[in-house]
Amino acid sequence: MSGEPRPVVPVIVFPGSNDDRDAQRALELLGAESPRTWHGDESLPARTAAVVLPGGFSYGDYLRCGAIARFSPVMQAVVAFAAEGGLVLGICNGFQILTEAGLLPGALRPNESLSFVCRDVALRVERTGTAFTSRCDEAEELTIPVKHGDGCWFADADLLAELEENGQIALRYAEGANPNGAVANVAGVLNEDGNVFGLMPHPEHAVDELLGSTDGAKILGSFVDAARLSAAVVV
Amino acid sequence: MLVRPKPGILDPQGQAVESSLRHLGFEVGEARVGRLVDVELATEDRTEATAQLERMCEQLLTNPLIESYEIELGAAAAGAEEA
Protein backbone atom coordinates (compact mmCIF):
# COMPACT_ATOMS: atom_id res chain seq x y z
CA MET A 1 0.00 0.00 0.00
CA SER A 2 2.95 2.34 0.57
CA GLY A 3 3.12 5.08 -1.99
CA GLU A 4 -0.62 5.14 -2.54
CA PRO A 5 -2.40 8.20 -1.19
CA ARG A 6 -4.04 7.67 2.19
CA PRO A 7 -7.63 8.90 2.05
CA VAL A 8 -8.94 10.67 5.15
CA VAL A 9 -11.61 8.42 6.70
CA PRO A 10 -12.66 9.76 10.11
CA VAL A 11 -14.22 7.46 12.69
CA ILE A 12 -16.88 9.29 14.71
CA VAL A 13 -16.70 8.85 18.48
CA PHE A 14 -20.02 9.10 20.34
CA PRO A 15 -20.31 8.85 24.12
CA GLY A 16 -20.44 5.07 24.52
CA SER A 17 -18.75 4.11 21.24
CA ASN A 18 -16.30 1.31 21.95
CA ASP A 19 -15.15 0.00 18.59
CA ASP A 20 -13.76 3.30 17.36
CA ARG A 21 -10.13 2.36 18.00
CA ASP A 22 -10.54 -1.06 16.38
CA ALA A 23 -12.11 0.59 13.34
CA GLN A 24 -9.34 3.19 13.24
CA ARG A 25 -6.64 0.52 13.47
CA ALA A 26 -8.25 -1.63 10.76
CA LEU A 27 -8.71 1.32 8.39
CA GLU A 28 -5.13 2.48 8.89
CA LEU A 29 -3.89 -1.06 8.29
CA LEU A 30 -5.81 -0.96 5.01
CA GLY A 31 -4.28 2.31 3.90
CA ALA A 32 -6.53 5.07 5.24
CA GLU A 33 -5.73 7.97 7.54
CA SER A 34 -8.41 7.70 10.23
CA PRO A 35 -8.66 10.46 12.80
CA ARG A 36 -11.11 9.80 15.61
CA THR A 37 -13.63 12.63 15.44
CA TRP A 38 -15.71 13.76 18.43
CA HIS A 39 -19.50 13.70 18.04
CA GLY A 40 -19.72 17.28 19.31
CA ASP A 41 -17.78 18.63 16.32
CA GLU A 42 -19.95 20.47 13.87
CA SER A 43 -17.90 19.60 10.83
CA LEU A 44 -15.88 16.69 9.46
CA PRO A 45 -12.08 16.89 9.22
CA ALA A 46 -10.55 18.60 6.16
CA ARG A 47 -10.33 16.39 3.04
CA THR A 48 -12.73 13.80 4.48
CA ALA A 49 -13.18 11.15 1.79
CA ALA A 50 -15.46 8.79 3.72
CA VAL A 51 -16.89 8.47 7.23
CA VAL A 52 -17.28 5.55 9.64
CA LEU A 53 -19.83 5.34 12.45
CA PRO A 54 -18.41 2.65 14.73
CA GLY A 55 -19.92 0.06 17.02
CA GLY A 56 -20.67 0.53 20.68
CA PHE A 57 -23.52 1.68 22.89
CA SER A 58 -23.92 5.37 22.12
CA TYR A 59 -25.89 7.15 24.85
CA GLY A 60 -26.26 3.85 26.69
CA ASP A 61 -28.66 2.56 24.00
CA TYR A 62 -31.33 4.51 25.88
CA LEU A 63 -34.76 4.88 24.27
CA ARG A 64 -33.81 2.96 21.10
CA CYS A 65 -30.30 2.11 19.91
CA GLY A 66 -28.98 5.06 17.92
CA ALA A 67 -32.03 7.24 18.55
CA ILE A 68 -30.19 9.87 20.59
CA ALA A 69 -26.84 9.79 18.77
CA ARG A 70 -28.53 10.82 15.54
CA PHE A 71 -29.02 14.28 17.08
CA SER A 72 -25.31 14.76 17.82
CA PRO A 73 -23.89 17.91 16.21
CA VAL A 74 -21.59 15.95 13.90
CA MET A 75 -24.53 14.02 12.48
CA GLN A 76 -25.76 17.08 10.61
CA ALA A 77 -22.39 17.19 8.85
CA VAL A 78 -22.60 13.43 8.17
CA VAL A 79 -26.12 13.79 6.72
CA ALA A 80 -24.97 16.67 4.48
CA PHE A 81 -21.88 14.70 3.43
CA ALA A 82 -24.02 11.68 2.51
CA ALA A 83 -26.48 13.88 0.62
CA GLU A 84 -23.62 15.04 -1.59
CA GLY A 85 -22.75 11.43 -2.36
CA GLY A 86 -20.09 11.03 0.36
CA LEU A 87 -19.33 7.47 1.46
CA VAL A 88 -20.66 6.56 4.91
CA LEU A 89 -20.25 3.19 6.63
CA GLY A 90 -22.11 2.28 9.83
CA ILE A 91 -21.02 -0.76 11.78
CA CYS A 92 -23.39 -2.26 14.39
CA ASN A 93 -24.35 0.75 16.56
CA GLY A 94 -23.30 2.89 13.59
CA PHE A 95 -25.83 0.98 11.46
CA GLN A 96 -28.49 1.60 14.12
CA ILE A 97 -27.68 5.34 14.11
CA LEU A 98 -27.92 5.50 10.31
CA THR A 99 -31.37 3.87 10.30
CA GLU A 100 -32.56 6.22 13.04
CA ALA A 101 -31.17 9.18 11.08
CA GLY A 102 -33.12 8.07 8.03
CA LEU A 103 -29.97 7.51 5.97
CA LEU A 104 -30.67 3.79 5.70
CA PRO A 105 -33.96 1.91 5.40
CA GLY A 106 -35.46 -0.34 8.06
CA ALA A 107 -35.04 -0.44 11.82
CA LEU A 108 -33.05 -2.56 14.28
CA ARG A 109 -34.95 -4.29 17.06
CA PRO A 110 -33.94 -6.46 20.02
CA ASN A 111 -32.70 -9.89 18.96
CA GLU A 112 -35.44 -12.48 18.67
CA SER A 113 -33.71 -14.55 21.37
CA LEU A 114 -33.41 -11.51 23.69
CA SER A 115 -29.83 -12.66 24.21
CA PHE A 116 -26.71 -10.74 23.36
CA VAL A 117 -24.91 -12.72 20.63
CA CYS A 118 -21.15 -12.65 20.26
CA ARG A 119 -19.69 -15.07 17.73
CA ASP A 120 -18.44 -15.54 14.20
CA VAL A 121 -21.21 -15.75 11.62
CA ALA A 122 -21.26 -16.89 8.02
CA LEU A 123 -22.40 -14.21 5.59
CA ARG A 124 -23.22 -14.23 1.90
CA VAL A 125 -22.35 -11.30 -0.34
CA GLU A 126 -25.45 -10.41 -2.35
CA ARG A 127 -24.07 -7.41 -4.22
CA THR A 128 -20.57 -7.06 -5.58
CA GLY A 129 -19.13 -4.04 -7.29
CA THR A 130 -20.39 -1.56 -4.68
CA ALA A 131 -18.14 0.85 -2.77
CA PHE A 132 -18.29 -1.62 0.14
CA THR A 133 -18.01 -4.97 -1.65
CA SER A 134 -15.77 -4.41 -4.68
CA ARG A 135 -13.13 -6.78 -3.27
CA CYS A 136 -15.72 -9.56 -2.80
CA ASP A 137 -16.74 -12.21 -5.31
CA GLU A 138 -20.28 -12.93 -6.44
CA ALA A 139 -22.14 -14.90 -3.71
CA GLU A 140 -18.90 -15.15 -1.72
CA GLU A 141 -19.22 -16.50 1.81
CA LEU A 142 -17.48 -14.43 4.49
CA THR A 143 -16.86 -15.18 8.17
CA ILE A 144 -17.11 -12.07 10.33
CA PRO A 145 -18.07 -11.76 14.03
CA VAL A 146 -21.25 -10.19 15.35
CA LYS A 147 -21.73 -8.89 18.90
CA HIS A 148 -25.03 -7.22 19.58
CA GLY A 149 -28.28 -7.34 21.50
CA ASP A 150 -30.32 -5.30 19.01
CA GLY A 151 -29.51 -6.56 15.55
CA CYS A 152 -32.87 -7.80 14.37
CA TRP A 153 -33.29 -5.77 11.20
CA PHE A 154 -36.91 -5.12 10.29
CA ALA A 155 -38.69 -3.84 7.22
CA ASP A 156 -42.33 -4.42 6.31
CA ALA A 157 -43.16 -6.49 3.23
CA ASP A 158 -43.51 -3.50 0.88
CA LEU A 159 -40.23 -1.91 1.93
CA LEU A 160 -38.40 -5.24 1.75
CA ALA A 161 -39.72 -5.89 -1.78
CA GLU A 162 -38.57 -2.43 -2.85
CA LEU A 163 -35.09 -2.94 -1.39
CA GLU A 164 -34.75 -6.37 -2.98
CA GLU A 165 -35.76 -4.95 -6.35
CA ASN A 166 -33.24 -2.10 -6.06
CA GLY A 167 -30.47 -4.50 -5.03
CA GLN A 168 -30.01 -2.70 -1.70
CA ILE A 169 -29.66 -5.90 0.34
CA ALA A 170 -25.89 -6.25 -0.07
CA LEU A 171 -25.17 -8.74 2.70
CA ARG A 172 -27.16 -11.59 4.27
CA TYR A 173 -26.53 -14.13 6.97
CA ALA A 174 -25.94 -17.51 5.35
CA GLU A 175 -28.86 -19.94 5.47
CA GLY A 176 -29.25 -21.18 9.06
CA ALA A 177 -26.76 -18.62 10.44
CA ASN A 178 -29.14 -15.74 11.24
CA PRO A 179 -28.10 -14.75 14.79
CA ASN A 180 -30.90 -12.30 15.60
CA GLY A 181 -34.11 -13.01 13.67
CA ALA A 182 -33.54 -10.30 11.04
CA VAL A 183 -36.16 -10.24 8.29
CA ALA A 184 -34.95 -12.06 5.14
CA ASN A 185 -31.61 -12.81 6.87
CA VAL A 186 -30.51 -9.24 6.20
CA ALA A 187 -27.10 -8.41 7.67
CA GLY A 188 -26.24 -5.26 5.69
CA VAL A 189 -28.19 -2.70 3.65
CA LEU A 190 -27.27 0.02 1.17
CA ASN A 191 -29.14 3.26 0.60
CA GLU A 192 -30.69 3.77 -2.81
CA ASP A 193 -27.69 5.64 -4.21
CA GLY A 194 -25.22 3.07 -2.92
CA ASN A 195 -23.01 5.53 -1.01
CA VAL A 196 -24.25 4.65 2.51
CA PHE A 197 -23.98 1.14 3.94
CA GLY A 198 -24.73 -0.32 7.34
CA LEU A 199 -24.09 -3.80 8.67
CA MET A 200 -24.41 -5.57 12.01
CA PRO A 201 -21.26 -7.75 11.71
CA HIS A 202 -17.93 -6.18 12.64
CA PRO A 203 -15.48 -6.22 9.71
CA GLU A 204 -12.94 -4.28 11.83
CA HIS A 205 -12.64 -7.35 14.10
CA ALA A 206 -11.72 -9.57 11.16
CA VAL A 207 -8.67 -8.01 9.53
CA ASP A 208 -5.96 -10.14 11.12
CA GLU A 209 -5.26 -13.89 11.00
CA LEU A 210 -4.63 -13.75 14.75
CA LEU A 211 -8.35 -13.08 15.23
CA GLY A 212 -9.39 -16.01 13.07
CA SER A 213 -10.51 -14.29 9.87
CA THR A 214 -9.41 -11.57 7.48
CA ASP A 215 -12.72 -11.44 5.64
CA GLY A 216 -13.55 -8.10 7.21
CA ALA A 217 -10.65 -6.63 5.25
CA LYS A 218 -12.56 -7.39 2.04
CA ILE A 219 -15.34 -5.01 3.10
CA LEU A 220 -13.15 -2.35 4.72
CA GLY A 221 -10.58 -2.68 1.93
CA SER A 222 -13.30 -2.10 -0.70
CA PHE A 223 -14.40 0.93 1.31
CA VAL A 224 -10.87 2.37 1.54
CA ASP A 225 -10.38 1.79 -2.22
CA ALA A 226 -13.60 3.71 -2.90
CA ALA A 227 -12.58 6.47 -0.47
CA ARG A 228 -9.23 6.81 -2.27
CA LEU A 229 -11.04 7.18 -5.61
CA SER A 230 -13.45 9.75 -4.24
CA ALA A 231 -10.58 11.67 -2.60
CA ALA A 232 -8.80 11.75 -5.97
CA VAL A 233 -11.91 13.24 -7.58
CA VAL A 234 -12.26 15.89 -4.87
CA VAL A 235 -8.59 16.94 -5.19
CA MET B 1 -46.89 9.29 26.17
CA LEU B 2 -47.44 5.59 25.61
CA VAL B 3 -45.21 4.03 22.97
CA ARG B 4 -46.07 0.60 21.65
CA PRO B 5 -44.59 -1.81 19.13
CA LYS B 6 -46.92 -1.75 16.12
CA PRO B 7 -49.08 -4.80 15.46
CA GLY B 8 -47.17 -7.45 13.55
CA ILE B 9 -43.78 -6.25 14.81
CA LEU B 10 -41.88 -9.03 16.54
CA ASP B 11 -41.85 -8.23 20.27
CA PRO B 12 -39.54 -10.69 22.03
CA GLN B 13 -39.88 -8.84 25.35
CA GLY B 14 -43.67 -9.24 25.15
CA GLN B 15 -43.25 -12.93 24.35
CA ALA B 16 -40.97 -13.44 27.35
CA VAL B 17 -43.44 -11.65 29.64
CA GLU B 18 -46.33 -13.66 28.21
CA SER B 19 -44.61 -16.98 28.82
CA SER B 20 -43.59 -15.93 32.33
CA LEU B 21 -47.17 -14.93 33.17
CA ARG B 22 -48.38 -18.32 31.94
CA HIS B 23 -45.81 -20.05 34.13
CA LEU B 24 -47.29 -18.18 37.08
CA GLY B 25 -50.69 -19.61 36.20
CA PHE B 26 -52.28 -16.54 34.59
CA GLU B 27 -54.39 -17.35 31.56
CA VAL B 28 -53.20 -14.60 29.25
CA GLY B 29 -53.24 -14.14 25.50
CA GLU B 30 -50.58 -12.13 23.71
CA ALA B 31 -48.54 -9.70 25.85
CA ARG B 32 -46.80 -6.69 24.30
CA VAL B 33 -44.27 -4.47 26.03
CA GLY B 34 -44.07 -0.77 25.28
CA ARG B 35 -42.77 2.30 27.05
CA LEU B 36 -44.26 5.08 29.15
CA VAL B 37 -42.69 8.54 29.03
CA ASP B 38 -43.89 11.19 31.50
CA VAL B 39 -42.80 14.77 30.93
CA GLU B 40 -43.62 18.03 32.66
CA LEU B 41 -44.47 20.87 30.32
CA ALA B 42 -44.24 24.62 30.86
CA THR B 43 -47.48 25.33 29.05
CA GLU B 44 -50.94 24.93 30.58
CA ASP B 45 -52.67 25.23 27.22
CA ARG B 46 -53.92 21.74 26.37
CA THR B 47 -53.90 22.24 22.60
CA GLU B 48 -50.35 23.56 22.70
CA ALA B 49 -49.33 20.74 25.06
CA THR B 50 -50.75 18.10 22.73
CA ALA B 51 -48.97 19.64 19.75
CA GLN B 52 -45.65 19.65 21.62
CA LEU B 53 -46.05 16.05 22.75
CA GLU B 54 -46.87 14.94 19.20
CA ARG B 55 -43.71 16.58 17.95
CA MET B 56 -41.69 14.85 20.69
CA CYS B 57 -43.13 11.49 19.72
CA GLU B 58 -42.48 12.02 16.05
CA GLN B 59 -38.96 13.43 16.34
CA LEU B 60 -37.48 11.32 19.10
CA LEU B 61 -39.69 9.10 21.22
CA THR B 62 -40.93 6.74 18.53
CA ASN B 63 -39.58 5.20 15.37
CA PRO B 64 -42.65 5.40 13.12
CA LEU B 65 -41.62 2.31 11.19
CA ILE B 66 -42.03 0.06 14.21
CA GLU B 67 -43.87 1.99 16.94
CA SER B 68 -47.14 3.83 17.52
CA TYR B 69 -47.95 6.28 20.30
CA GLU B 70 -50.78 7.63 22.38
CA ILE B 71 -50.83 10.88 24.32
CA GLU B 72 -52.58 11.47 27.62
CA LEU B 73 -52.63 14.85 29.37
CA GLY B 74 -52.62 15.00 33.15
CA ALA B 75 -53.93 17.84 35.30
CA ALA B 76 -51.73 20.93 35.33
CA ALA B 77 -49.28 20.91 38.25
CA ALA B 78 -51.28 18.17 40.00
CA GLY B 79 -48.18 15.95 40.08
CA ALA B 80 -46.17 18.65 41.83
CA GLU B 81 -48.79 19.09 44.55
CA GLU B 82 -48.96 15.36 45.21
CA ALA B 83 -45.22 15.20 45.59
In chain A, how many domains are there? Answer: 1
**Does residue A75 form part of some domain?**
yes
Span B22-59, pLDDT tens digits: 999 999 999 999 999 999 999 999 999 999 999 999 99
Element (H, E) at B4: strand B2-5
The pLDDT assigned to A41 comes to: 97
The pLDDT assigned to A65 comes to: 95
Q: Who has greater pLDDT, A136 or B81?
A: A136
Q: Which of A59, A62, A64 to mutate to test the interface with B (most CBs of B within 10 A)?
A: A64
B78, pLDDT greater than 90: no
B10 lies within 8 A of chain A by CB: yes
A184 lies within 8 A of chain B by CB: no
**Does residue A4 form part of some domain?**
no
pLDDT tier at B72, thresholds 50, 70, 90? very high
A110 lies within 8 A of chain B by CB: yes
Contact between A63 and B60 using a beta-carbon 8 Å cutoff? yes
Catalytic site includes residue A39: no
pLDDT tier at B75, thresholds 50, 70, 90? confident
The pLDDT assigned to A54 comes to: 98
Contact between A67 and B13 using a beta-carbon 8 Å cutoff? no
Query: Per-10-residue mean pLDDT for chain A, 235 residues long?
Result: 83 97 98 97 97 96 95 97 98 98 97 95 97 97 98 97 98 98 98 98 96 96 96 65
How far away is chain A from the Cα of B44, in angstroms, using its nearest Cα? 27
ipTM: 0.81
Set of chain B residues whose Cβ sits within 8 Å of the Cβ of A152: 10
B63 lies within 8 A of chain A by CB: yes
Domain membership of residue B75 as a residue range: 2-82
Catalytic site includes residue A205: no
Read off the CATH number of the domain in which B17 is found. 3.30.1280.10
Contact between B9 and A154 using a beta-carbon 8 Å cutoff? yes
Span A28-64, pLDDT tens digits: 999 999 999 999 999 999 999 999 999 999 999 999 9
Domain membership of residue A88 as a residue range: 11-234
B17, pLDDT greater than 60: yes
B60 lies within 8 A of chain A by CB: yes
Span A85-101, pLDDT tens digits: 999 999 999 999 999 99
The pLDDT assigned to B77 comes to: 53
In chain B, how many domains are there? Answer: 1
Catalytic site includes residue A202: yes
HSE-CB at B10 with a 13 A cutoff on CA atoms is: 20
pTM exceeds cut of 0.90:
yes
